[in-house]
A and B are shown apart, each in its own frame.
Chain A
Amino acid sequence: MKPQSHAFKETAAHAIHDPGLQKALANVRSGFVAKRARARSALPEFDQLCDEARDIKNHTLAHLNLYLEAYETKVREHGGHVHWATDAAEACGIIADICRNQDARTVTKGKSMIGEEIALNDHLERQGFEVFETDLGEYLIQIRGEAPSHIIGPAIHLTRPQIEADFRRVHTGLPADRNLDDATKLVAEARAVLRERFVAADVGITGANLLIAETGTSVIVTNEGNGDLTQTLPRTHIVIASIEKMVPTLEDANTILRILARSATGQDMSTYTTFSTGPKRAGDPDGPDHYHVVLLDNGRSAMLGSQFHDMLRCIRCGACINHCPVYNAVGGHAYGWVYPGPMGAVLTPSLVGIEEAGHLPNASSFCGHCEAVCPMSIPLPKLMRHWREREVDEGRMPLVQRTLFKAWAFLAKRPALYRAASSIGIASLSLLGRRQGRIRALPFASSWTRHRDLPAPQGRTFRDQWRAGRRT
Chain B
Amino acid sequence: MTRTRQSSERQPRVGLFVTCIVDLFRPSVAFAALKLLREAGCDVEVPATQTCCGQPAYNSGLRADARPIAAQVIAAFEDYDYVVAPSGSCAAMLRLHYPELFAADAAYAPRAQAFAEKVYELVSFLVDVMEIDGVDASFGGSVTYHDACSGLRELDIKDQPRRLLESVKGLELKEMDEAETCCGFGGTFAVKYADISSAIAERKTKCAGEAGADCLVAGDLGCLMQLAGKLSREGSGLSVRHVAEVLAGMTDEPAIGAPED
Residues of A that sit less than 8 Å from B by CB: 9, 12-13, 16, 325-326, 328-330, 362-369, 371-372, 385, 387-393, 397, 401, 405-406, 408-409, 411-413, 415, 418, 422, 425-426, 434-438, 440, 445, 447-448, 450-463, 465-467, 470-472
Partner of B27, one of A392, A448, A460: A460
Number of interface residues of B (CB under 8 A): 71
Would you give the shortest CB distance from A129 to chain B, in whole angstroms? Answer: 40
Contacts of B232 in A (CB 8 A): 437-438, 452-453, 455
In the A-B complex, the 9 residue pairs with the smallest Cβ-Cβ separation, listed nearest first, are A365-B186, A388-B61, A452-B229, A451-B198, A367-B182, A462-B27, A455-B257, A367-B149, A389-B61
| Residue of A whose beta carbon sits closest to that of B225 | A455
Partner of A451, one of B60, B65, B194: B194
| 29 pairs of residues in contact across A and B, judged by CB atoms under 8 Å | A12-B195, A16-B199, A325-B200, A325-B203, A328-B200, A329-B199, A362-B193, A365-B190, A366-B189, A368-B149, A369-B149, A369-B153, A372-B153, A388-B60, A390-B61, A405-B57, A405-B65, A409-B65, A412-B69, A413-B51, A415-B50, A418-B51, A437-B254, A450-B194, A453-B228, A453-B229, A453-B230, A455-B232, A456-B257
Q: At the interface, yes or no: B91 with Cβ under 8 Å from chain A?
A: no
Contact B228 A364 (CB under 8 A): no
Contact B230 A466 (CB under 8 A): no
Contact A458 B253 (CB under 8 A): yes
Task: Give me 9 other A-B pairs in contact (C-beta within 8 A), A365-B187, A415-B72, A453-B257 excluded.
Answer: A329-B200, A362-B192, A364-B189, A369-B182, A385-B58, A392-B62, A397-B62, A422-B24, A453-B229
A409-B69 Cα distance, complex, nearest whole Å: 8
Contact B259 A461 (CB under 8 A): no
Partner of B195, one of A325, A422, A451, A457: A451
Residues of chain B in range 237-261 having any CB-CB distance to chain A below 8 Å: 253-254, 256-260
Contacts of B142 in A (CB 8 A): none
Would you give the shortest CB distance from A421 to chain B, in whole angstroms? Answer: 10
Residues of chain B in range 187-214 having any CB-CB distance to chain A below 8 Å: 187, 189-201, 203
Query: By CB atoms of chain B within 10 A, which of A369, A385, A462 has the most?
Result: A462
| Residue of A whose beta carbon sits closest to that of B73 | A412
Cβ proximity bits B109-135 to A, threshold 8 Å, 1 near / 0 not: 000000000000000000000000000
Q: Of the 9-residue stretches B7-15, B29-37, B77-85, B160-168, which lies at the interface with chain A?
A: B29-37
Q: At the interface, yes or no: B150 with Cβ under 8 Å from chain A?
A: yes
A contacts with B: majority SS: helix
Would you give the shortest CB distance from A429 to chain B, in whole angstroms? Answer: 8
Cβ proximity bits B40-60 to A, threshold 8 Å, 1 near / 0 not: 000000101111101011111
Contact B197 A365 (CB under 8 A): yes
Contacts of B28 in A (CB 8 A): 458
Partner of B193, one of A9, A393, A437: A9
Q: At the interface, yes or no: B184 with Cβ under 8 Å from chain A?
A: yes
Q: At the interface, yes or no: B145 with Cβ under 8 Å from chain A?
A: no
Contact A426 B24 (CB under 8 A): yes
A453-B61 Cα distance, complex, nearest whole Å: 28
Given A422-B23, A461-B27, decide whether A409 and B62 contact each other with a Cβ distance below 8 A. Answer: yes
A462-B192 Cα distance, complex, nearest whole Å: 28
A465-B26 Cα distance, complex, nearest whole Å: 12
Given A411-B51, A448-B194, decide whether A436 and B26 contact each other with a Cβ distance below 8 A. Answer: no
Q: At the interface, yes or no: B63 with Cβ under 8 Å from chain A?
A: yes
A455-B253 Cα distance, complex, nearest whole Å: 13
Would you give the shortest CB distance from B166 to chain A, in whole angstroms? Answer: 24
Would you give the shortest CB distance from A468 to chain B, in whole angstroms? Answer: 11
Contacts of B203 in A (CB 8 A): 325, 328-329
Q: At the interface, yes or no: B108 with Cβ under 8 Å from chain A?
A: no
| Residue of A whose beta carbon sits closest to that of B53 | A412
Contact A325 B182 (CB under 8 A): yes
Contacts of A459 in B (CB 8 A): 27
Q: At the interface, yes or no: B185 with Cβ under 8 Å from chain A?
A: yes
A147-B113 Cα distance, complex, nearest whole Å: 46
| Residue of A whose beta carbon sits closest to that of B23 | A462
